[in-house]
């Protein structure tokens, strides 16, 4: 498609374009001004750098896993090593990438600006959360360097407490600490949203991005402490031998499962809800329409957060929970699909009769629609009791949650990074390369995980490094897809870095979007607004944007 | 203000003398104080969820291993537990007085109340140490050295010549280990919170001594007070659940 006819991209005249002289990036200089910053935007950048690092660490493990599975025989690594590979892949990706991905980077950067305030409520706690994240990451790397951990990311007892001689305690400490980083992020968001909104910014004028983060923050604040105490109990059981989960002493391993999934299922929504917030912004901007059913989308976020707390036992259908509780949890699992579907349908209606353009964020958003829908629908399969018995602990599960987490959250993350890149850095990414990477990762993703649905349905169990020869064709396809997917994720790393210096200057509002963040200079001032705005219009009000006068001062210098 | 939303909202910046602790990103001191308190309550909510996991485990196993829980519960000293409860309530009382002293800007009183709070916190931990060490002596600490003999063959009371409590069959007696696991996990987590609180108290006392909270800025004292009361309240649930409930069903 030719960019000139179908684009809404509105860059300033390149002969006269300049970066604002004063902004949060050049306000202070030196490494220490970053390490001791209280600025939510700088902390977001710190987070972005660190989660990118851990994403590629986790990605490297994924690559090694796929490489081992290229052949039916265990030829690349020993079975123990393979166990460590998928455990570290899970731990790094879940706790160090997916949970903080959108909230700690984009959320941190944007929520105060979207609410029309100068910073999050607690800047020091925000910085503390980044240091806790780093400490968690360091412990994870320590666990890795001292020989890895092979419990899987689920720390299943009594395997983790009695039968393994790997670095369970180190990894558990890592997750405990990283958990507090997540609690503090969520706490900061909730207080900011409640107490720091600009005059006129009512609850139902907030962008849906903020609503989604609000719901996710509630989950972080209420769910994560339960994981913390569970991990403490695992550690106590492993070190001094208390008997809470140990059946030989009268404890019950099933209790561990209940406590663990009480967090770890809501954690799935911690991971996906902020991504859904990104999609709401992107879809509205590139269809030039208010999000259809704003209130429904806002409340569906809250509904997901609420229902999300009552479905955890669907991870335990084959673990010997009672039939009745399985039945109830199966029903509740079906229910949680409803608000997700509300979102998908409302986004679809937003597109209807919109003036749609296909910039990179929109391409990623479309990838999200397709992939998340498949991921969500297969989740309903798995929520059905009979199907679950057949499919659970097979590659069907692996494919399902990768469709939700990678196909959903990661695509949304990429959409968001591209969408707000001009705001964060003041420069555009190269459009053609980024479109290529969006398409590449979409194709690569499907090639990787679609065969895994089939493999799982045919009965290939997860977490094994060897498999019968008849599964090889599908596994080769999957590994080939992973390679393509890897290229799709490596490309943005290169061209986004390139664009920091050579990208076109973006100007304040290259997308002609309505959010408050687009009405200020790019990159923003340290204090975001020269004067706190008064909000007198709804979110996604394109009429307001069209009539907005050019009088206000949006750039200093 | 029709079309110019991002425009001029001028608030009276210097209408009053602002505190040095007022942070620039808050519009008003009132907003800062409210945000701080709200944040503290949210943090306490996470703490409730943290302890909630333990309370849930207690509830479950108490129902499963009722006899073992009763017998093991009899091992705890009501006397020491009650003294500790009194210490904690008194400590919380002095903390509340400390908040009051900060609000009326009495530096000396604030320091004294904070020190009393700290001392009573230490007293609690001291008694907890006595209780714990008794468990070690009796081999009632879960792990490799756990000993159930006292529950299978209860010691004979010298005066009456009868067993002090009903003997348990060995398989049920083994479940006392679950009780003591939870006892140590719950009171241990509580003690960890006490220790964190005492460390914070040192810091607050230091700052109070240098007059940080004597000019109307009392948020840290108030919010720490909330934390300290929360730790008290956790104990007020632990004490009846571990020490008191159905203590002597034989009598």
Work out the average pLDDT over A429-438.
Answer: 95
pLDDT at B144: 82
3-state secondary structure at position B232: helix
Work out the average pLDDT over A45-72.
Answer: 96
The answer to whether B184 and A259 have CB atoms below 8 angstroms apart is: no
| Residue A16 is assigned to a structural domain of this protein | no
In the predicted structure, residue A536 carries a pLDDT above the cut 50: yes
B 213-242 residues with CB < 8 A to A: none
Residue in the structure block whose two tokens are 């796929």: A66
pLDDT at A12: 84
CATH number at residue A354: 1.20.210.10
B11–chain A Cβ distance below 8 A for any pair: yes
Residues A16, A554: Cα–Cα separation, whole Å: 17
- Indicate yes or no: CB of B181 within 8 angstroms of CB of A243: yes
Work out the average pLDDT over A189-202.
Answer: 95
Task: Give, for B57, the enclosing helix (H) or strand (E).
Answer: helix B29-64
Residue in the structure block whose two tokens are 């290259």: A510
Work out the average pLDDT over A327-342.
Answer: 94
For chain B, the average pLDDT equals 88
| Residue A27 is assigned to a structural domain of this protein | no
Between helix A123-145 and helix A40-68 the angle, nearest 10°, is 20
The answer to whether B73 and B175 have CB atoms below 8 angstroms apart is: no
- Indicate yes or no: CB of A536 within 8 angstroms of CB of B182: no
Which positions in chain B touch A549 (Cβ < 8 Å)? 3-4
Q: Which residue of B has its CA nearest to A116?
A: B6
Residues B226, B249: Cα–Cα separation, whole Å: 37
Q: Which residue of A has its CA nearest to B40?
A: A187
- Indicate yes or no: CB of B10 within 8 angstroms of CB of A223: no
How does pLDDT run across B143-165, given as a tens digit for each residue? 888 888 888 888 887 777 777 77
Residues B134, B161: Cα–Cα separation, whole Å: 24
Residue whose C-alpha is closest to residue A84's, from A164, A169, A198: A164
Question: Out of A133-147, A377-391, A436-450, B141-155, which region has the weakest mean confidence (pLDDT)?
Answer: B141-155
| Residue A29 is assigned to a structural domain of this protein | no
| Residue A76 is assigned to a structural domain of this protein | yes
Residues A25, B17: Cα–Cα separation, whole Å: 32
Please report which residue ranges of A240-322 form alpha helices under DSSP H: 253-287, 294-308
**Burial of residue A497, with CB atoms counted within 10 A of its CB: 0-12 exposed, 13-18 middle, 19 or more buried:** exposed
Which positions in chain B touch A251 (Cβ < 8 Å)? 61, 178, 181
Other beta carbons within 10 angstroms of residue A531's beta carbon come to 14
How does pLDDT run across A261-278, given as a tens digit for each residue? 999 999 999 999 999 999
How does pLDDT run across A87-127, given as a tens digit for each residue? 999 999 999 999 999 999 999 999 999 999 999 999 999 99
H, E, C per residue of A86-121: HHHHHHHHHHHHHCCHHHHHHHHHHHHHHHCCCCCC
Indicate the residue of A191, A244, A552 with minimum beta-carbon distance to B35. A191
Chain B interface, best mutation among A190, A250, A531, A545, by max B CB count within 10 A: A250
Indicate the residue of B4, B49, B175 with minimum beta-carbon distance to A222. B49
Other beta carbons within 10 angstroms of residue B75's beta carbon come to 18
ipTM over 0.95? The verdict is no
pLDDT at A198: 94
Nearest-Cα distance to chain A for B51, in Å, is 7
Residue in the structure block whose two tokens are 């210490």: B87
pLDDT at A151: 92
**Burial of residue A44, with CB atoms counted within 10 A of its CB: 0-12 exposed, 13-18 middle, 19 or more buried:** buried
3-state secondary structure at position A508: coil
| Residue A144 is assigned to a structural domain of this protein | yes
Residues contacting residue B30 through CB under 8 Å, at least 6 positions apart: none
- DSSP character at residue A516: G
- Indicate yes or no: CB of B142 within 8 angstroms of CB of A250: no
Other beta carbons within 10 angstroms of residue A253's beta carbon come to 17
Nearest-Cα distance to chain B for A281, in Å, is 19
Q: Residue B38: beta bridge partners? A: none
Work out the average pLDDT over A17-25.
Answer: 89
Task: Give, for A71, the enclosing helix (H) or strand (E).
Answer: none
Nearest-Cα distance to chain A for B120, in Å, is 27
| Residue A32 is assigned to a structural domain of this protein | no
The answer to whether A505 and A11 have CB atoms below 8 angstroms apart is: yes
With vertex at residue A185, the alpha carbon angle to CA A297 and CA A27, rounded to the nearest 5 degrees, is 105
pLDDT at A549: 54
Indicate the residue of A192, A250, A536 with minimum beta-carbon distance to B177. A250
Centroid of chain to Cα A88:
18
3-state secondary structure at position A467: coil
How does pLDDT run across A211-228, given as a tens digit for each residue? 999 999 999 999 999 999
List phi, psi (to 5°) of B159.
-75, -50
Chain B interface, best mutation among A244, A528, A544, by max B CB count within 10 A: A244
- DSSP character at residue B237: H
Between helix A411-425 and helix A360-383 the angle, nearest 10°, is 150
What is the model's pTM? 0.93
Residues A220, A205: Cα–Cα separation, whole Å: 24
Residue whose C-alpha is closest to residue A130's, from A93, A94, A105: A105
Other beta carbons within 10 angstroms of residue B231's beta carbon come to 23
- DSSP character at residue B242: I
Residue whose C-alpha is closest to residue B228's, from B103, B115, B89: B89
Residue whose C-alpha is closest to residue A116's, from A244, A188, A55, A205: A205
pLDDT at A7: 75
| Residue A13 is assigned to a structural domain of this protein | no
3-state helix, strand, coil in chain A (%, to 5): 70, 0, 30
How does pLDDT run across A540-553, given as a tens digit for each residue? 999 888 887 554 54
Q: Round to the nearest angstrom and report the end-to-end CA distance of chain A.
A: 37
Indicate the residue of A119, A529, A531 with minimum beta-carbon distance to B10. A531
Residue whose C-alpha is closest to residue A188's, from B200, B226, B28, B40: B40
Centroid of chain to Cα B124:
10
Residues A153, A175: Cα–Cα separation, whole Å: 10
Q: In order of start, what are the domains of chain B with their CATH numbers?
A: 51-244 (1.20.120.80)
3-state secondary structure at position B99: helix
Other beta carbons within 10 angstroms of residue B145's beta carbon come to 10
pLDDT at B18: 62
Host domain of residue A408? 37-547
Residue whose C-alpha is closest to residue A289's, from A342, A340, A352, A344: A352
- Indicate yes or no: CB of B5 within 8 angstroms of CB of A229: no
Q: How far is CA A103 from CA A38, A226, A269, B83, in A?
A: 17, 20, 12, 46
- Indicate yes or no: CB of B185 within 8 angstroms of CB of A242: yes
pLDDT at A546: 85
The answer to whether A119 and A38 have CB atoms below 8 angstroms apart is: yes
- Which pair of structure tokens corresponds to residue A134? 């780093």
Indicate the residue of A112, A200, A243 with minimum beta-carbon distance to B177. A243
| Residue A26 is assigned to a structural domain of this protein | no
Which positions in chain B touch A529 (Cβ < 8 Å)? 6
Which positions in chain B touch A226 (Cβ < 8 Å)? 49-50, 52-53
Handedness of CA B153, B156, B161, B165 (dihedral sign): negative
Other beta carbons within 10 angstroms of residue A538's beta carbon come to 14
3-state secondary structure at position A396: helix
Which positions in chain B touch A262 (Cβ < 8 Å)? 53
The answer to whether A218 and A183 have CB atoms below 8 angstroms apart is: no
The one-digit pLDDT tens for each residue of chain B (251 residues) are 334 444 444 444 444 556 677 777 888 888 899 999 999 999 999 999 999 999 999 999 999 999 999 999 988 999 999 999 999 999 999 999 999 999 999 999 999 999 999 999 999 999 999 999 999 998 999 888 888 888 888 888 777 777 777 888 998 999 999 999 999 999 999 999 999 999 999 999 999 999 889 888 899 999 999 999 999 999 999 999 999 987 765 54
Which positions in chain B touch A244 (Cβ < 8 Å)? 57, 61, 178, 181-182, 185
Nearest-Cα distance to chain B for A550, in Å, is 9
pLDDT at A11: 85
- Indicate yes or no: CB of A533 within 8 angstroms of CB of B2: no
Q: Which residue of B has its CA nearest to A546?
A: B3
**Burial of residue A373, with CB atoms counted within 10 A of its CB: 0-12 exposed, 13-18 middle, 19 or more buried:** middle
Other beta carbons within 10 angstroms of residue A316's beta carbon come to 18
pLDDT at B91: 97
Considering its fold, how many domains does chain A have in total? 1
* DSSP one-letter string for A114-140: HHT-SS-S-HHHHHHHHHHHHHHHHHH
The answer to whether B36 and B227 have CB atoms below 8 angstroms apart is: no
Work out the average pLDDT over A282-288.
Answer: 95
Residue whose C-alpha is closest to residue B245's, from B103, B19, B81, B5: B81
Question: Out of A164-173, A371-380, B14-23, which region has the weakest mean confidence (pLDDT)?
Answer: B14-23
For chain A, the average pLDDT equals 93
Please report which residue ranges of A392-471 form alpha helices under DSSP H: 395-402, 411-425, 431-458
């Amino acid at each position: 498609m030719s960019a000139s006819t179908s684009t809404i991209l509105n860059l300033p005249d390149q002969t006269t374009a300049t970066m604002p002289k004063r902004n949060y990036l050049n306000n202070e200089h030196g490494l220490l001004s970053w390490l001791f910053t209280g600025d939510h935007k700088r902390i977001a950048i710190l987070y972005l750098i660190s989660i990118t690092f851990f994403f590629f660490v986790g990605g490297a493990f994924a690559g090694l896993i796929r490489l081992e599975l290229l052949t039916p025989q265990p030829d690349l690594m020993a079975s123990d090593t393979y166990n460590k590979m998928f455990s570290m892949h899970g731990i790094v990706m879940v706790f160090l990438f997916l949970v903080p991905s959108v909230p700690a980077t984009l959320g941190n950067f944007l929520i105060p600006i979207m609410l029309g305030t100068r910073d999050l409520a607690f800047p020091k706690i925000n910085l503390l959360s980044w240091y806790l994240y780093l400490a968690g990451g360091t412990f994870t790397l320590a666990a890795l360097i001292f020989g890895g951990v092979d419990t899987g990311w689920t720390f299943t007892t009594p395997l983790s407490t009695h039968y393994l001689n790997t670095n369970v305690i180190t990894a558990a400490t890592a997750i405990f600490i990283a958990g507090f980083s997540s609690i503090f992020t969520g706490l900061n968001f909730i207080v900011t949203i409640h107490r720091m909104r600009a005059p006129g910014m009512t609850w139902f004028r907030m962008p849906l991005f903020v609503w989604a983060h609000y719901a996710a923050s509630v989950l972080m604040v209420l769910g994560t402490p339960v994981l913390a105490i569970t991990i403490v109990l695992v550690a106590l059981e492993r070190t001094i031998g208390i008997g809470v989960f140990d059946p030989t002493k009268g404890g019950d391993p099933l209790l561990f499962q209940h406590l663990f999934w009480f967090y770890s299922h809501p954690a799935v929504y911690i991971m996906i809800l902020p991504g859904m917030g990104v999609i709401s912004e992107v879809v509205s901007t590139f269809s030039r329409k208010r999000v259809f059913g704003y209130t429904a989308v806002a409340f569906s976020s809250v509904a997901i957060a609420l229902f999300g707390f009552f479905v955890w036992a669907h991870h335990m259908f084959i673990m010997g929970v009672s039939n009745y509780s399985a039945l109830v949890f199966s029903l509740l699992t079906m229910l949680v699909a409803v608000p997700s579907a509300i979102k998908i349908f409302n986004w679809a209606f937003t597109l209807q009769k919109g003036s749609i353009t296909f910039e990179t964020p929109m391409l990623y958003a479309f990838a999200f629609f397709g992939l998340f829908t498949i991921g969500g629908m297969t989740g309903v399969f798995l929520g059905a009791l009979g199907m679950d018995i057949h499919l659970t602990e097979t590659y069907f599960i692996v494919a399902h949650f990768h469709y939700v987490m990678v196909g959903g959250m990661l695509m949304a993350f990429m959409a968001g990074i591209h969408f707000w890149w001009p705001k964060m850095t003041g420069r555009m990414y190269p459009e053609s390369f980024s479109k290529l990477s969006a398409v590449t990762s979409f194709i690569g993703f499907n090639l990787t995980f679609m065969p895994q649905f089939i493999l799982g349905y045919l009965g290939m169990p997860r977490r094994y490094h060897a498999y019968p020869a008849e599964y090889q064709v599908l596994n080769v396809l999957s590994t080939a897809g992973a390679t393509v997917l890897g290229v799709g994720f490596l490309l943005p790393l290169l061209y986004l870095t390139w664009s920091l210096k050579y990208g076109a200057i973006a100007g304040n509002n290259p997308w002609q979007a309505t959010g408050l963040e687009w009405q200020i200079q790019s990159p923003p001032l340290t204090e975001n607004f020269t004067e706190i705005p008064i909000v007198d219009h709804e979110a996604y009000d394109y009429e307001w944007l069209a009539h907005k006068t050019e009088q206000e001062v949006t750039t200093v210098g | 203000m029709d079309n110019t939303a991002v425009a001029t909202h001028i608030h009276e910046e210097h209408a009053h003398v602002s505190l040095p602790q007022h942070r620039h990103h808050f519009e008003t001191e009132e907003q800062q104080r409210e945000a701080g308190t709200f944040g503290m309550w949210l943090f306490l909510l996470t703490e409730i969820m943290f302890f909630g996991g333990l309370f849930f485990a207690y509830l479950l196993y108490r129902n499963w291993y009722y006899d073992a829980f009763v017998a093991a519960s009899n091992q705890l000293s009501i006397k020491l537990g009650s003294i500790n409860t009194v210490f904690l309530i008194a400590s919380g009382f002095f903390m509340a007085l400390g908040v009051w002293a900060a609000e009326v800007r009495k530096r000396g009183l604030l320091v004294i109340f904070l020190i009393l709070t700290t001392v009573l916190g230490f007293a609690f931990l001291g008694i907890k140490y006595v209780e714990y060490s008794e468990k070690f002596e009796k081999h009632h600490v879960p792990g490799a050295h756990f000993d159930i003999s006292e529950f299978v063959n209860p010691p004979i009371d010298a005066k009456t010549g009868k067993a002090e409590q009903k003997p348990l069959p060995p398989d049920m007696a083994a479940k006392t280990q679950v009780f003591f696991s939870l006892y140590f996990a719950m009171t241990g987590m509580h003690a960890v919170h006490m220790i964190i609180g005492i460390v914070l108290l040192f810091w607050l006392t230091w700052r109070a001594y240098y007059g940080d909270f004597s000019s109307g800025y009392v948020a840290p004292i108030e919010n720490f007070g909330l934390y300290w009361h929360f730790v008290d309240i956790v104990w007020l649930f632990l004490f009846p659940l571990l020490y008191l409930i159905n203590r002597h069903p034989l009598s």
